[in-house]
């Protein structure tokens, strides 16, 4: 089966309450076969909404976690609840977690503590970690090294970092995921990183409803818009877009441990 995967979508929030079904139908029409729905959108409740959204739905998978913006709400009882949720068979990763020193919406100490707790949780349940990192390269790499991330496996999602950060992550066995940012006019340095990365370690994502790619920039993002990010990578790698879909799709299947025989969005 040829696979095409949006590895990071936030579909549980109010942005999609009026037309979620149509958004999913457009994803199908665009050829997407699997959607990874991120639970850590906004506080704890988005995990519950995301699990309800994917439960029993062909081609839908989920992650559970708490966004670094909300790191200060993480406590022991919440981690225990998330551990139970993480054992759901359609939960394929923990996160997003990580460090965001650009917005600093939670104190940095709380962000580091929550990140370390989610690394432990990922190891416990045997699922990879989805890492959000902004303006925190050194602390991110240090924390990953200190928590045996090479054994957990993970992805730096919505990558906007330097070649050095990408190299350090790749050395830990991590994947790098590109969002619509790679299409932005100002993102020439990022495109240079994308050009150089080993292709078997690259994923694509929308991070919708945020960060719509050019030519949809400024609009609400949705999974079907991922074709513009794929086209950009195809251009950088001098491949056909169908090859980029297949490469990144197969990478995502391997990364999330999704079996070849698993149902897709088009399985009836």
Of 26-34, 82-90, 92-100, 186-194: span binding Zn ion (CB under 5 A):
92-100
Nearer to Zn ion by Cβ, of 132 and 228: the residue is 132
Residue whose pair of structure tokens reads 């993102």 in the numeric block: 187
- The least distance separating Zn ion from the CB of residue 65, rounded to whole angstroms, comes to 10
Q: Distance between CA 235 and CA 222 in Å, rounded?
A: 22
Q: Are 38 and 70 in contact (CB under 8 A)?
A: no
| Residue 48 C-alpha from the chain's centroid | 18
What residue number has its CB nearest to Zn ion?
Answer: 132
Nearer to Zn ion by Cβ, of 204 and 234: the residue is 204
- The least distance separating Zn ion from the CB of residue 115, rounded to whole angstroms, comes to 13
- Residue of 132, 191, 228, 245 that binds Zn ion (CB under 5 A): 132
205 binds Zn ion (CB under 5 A): no
Of 26-34, 126-134, 145-153, 236-244: span binding Zn ion (CB under 5 A):
126-134
Q: Distance between CA 263 and CA 267 in Å, rounded?
A: 6
Of 46-54, 81-89, 128-136, 241-249: span binding Zn ion (CB under 5 A):
128-136
Angle among Cα 161, 202, 213 to the nearest 5 degrees reads 70
Tokens of 108: 């940095």
Of 76-84, 89-97, 165-173, 194-202: span binding Zn ion (CB under 5 A):
89-97
Closest to 59 measured CA to CA, from 267, 248, 265: 265
Report 207-246 residues binding Zn ion (CB under 5 A): 207
Nearer to Zn ion by Cβ, of 112 and 132: the residue is 132
Report helix, strand or coil for 254. helix
Q: Are 157 and 136 in contact (CB under 8 A)?
A: no
- The least distance separating Zn ion from the CB of residue 83, rounded to whole angstroms, comes to 21
Phi, psi of 153 (to 5 degrees): 80, 150
Tell me which residues touch Zn ion (CB under 5 A).
Answer: 96, 132, 207
């Amino acid at each position: 089966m040829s696979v095409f995967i949006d590895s990071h979508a936030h579909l549980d929030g109010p942005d999609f309450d009026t037309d979620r079904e149509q958004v999913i139908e457009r994803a199908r029409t665009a050829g997407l076969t699997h959607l990874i729905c991120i639970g850590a959108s906004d506080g704890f409740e988005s995990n519950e909404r995301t699990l309800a959204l994917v439960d029993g739905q062909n081609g839908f998978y989920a992650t559970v976690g708490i966004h670094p913006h909300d790191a200060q709400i993480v406590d022991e009882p919440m981690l225990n609840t998330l551990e139970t949720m993480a054992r759901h068979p359609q939960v394929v990763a923990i996160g997003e977690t990580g460090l965001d020193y650009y917005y600093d919406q939670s104190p940095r100490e709380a962000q580091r503590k929550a990140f370390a707790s989610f690394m432990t949780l990922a190891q416990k349940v045997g699922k990879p970690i989805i890492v959000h990192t902004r303006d925190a390269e050194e602390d991110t790499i240090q924390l990953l090294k200190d928590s045996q991330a090479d054994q957990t496996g993970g992805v730096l999602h919505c990558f906007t970092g330097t070649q050095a950060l990408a190299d350090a992550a790749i050395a830990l066995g991590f994947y790098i995921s590109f969002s619509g940012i790679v299409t932005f006019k100002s993102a020439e340095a990022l495109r240079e990183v994308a050009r150089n990365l080993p292709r078997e370690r690259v994923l694509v994502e929308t991070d919708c409803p945020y960060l719509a790619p050019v030519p949809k920039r400024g609009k609400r993002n949705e999974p079907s818009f991922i074709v513009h990010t794929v086209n950009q990578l195809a251009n950088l790698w001098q491949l056909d877009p169908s090859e980029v879909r297949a490469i990144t799709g197969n990478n995502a299947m391997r990364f999330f441990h999704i079996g070849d025989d698993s149902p897709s969005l088009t399985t009836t």
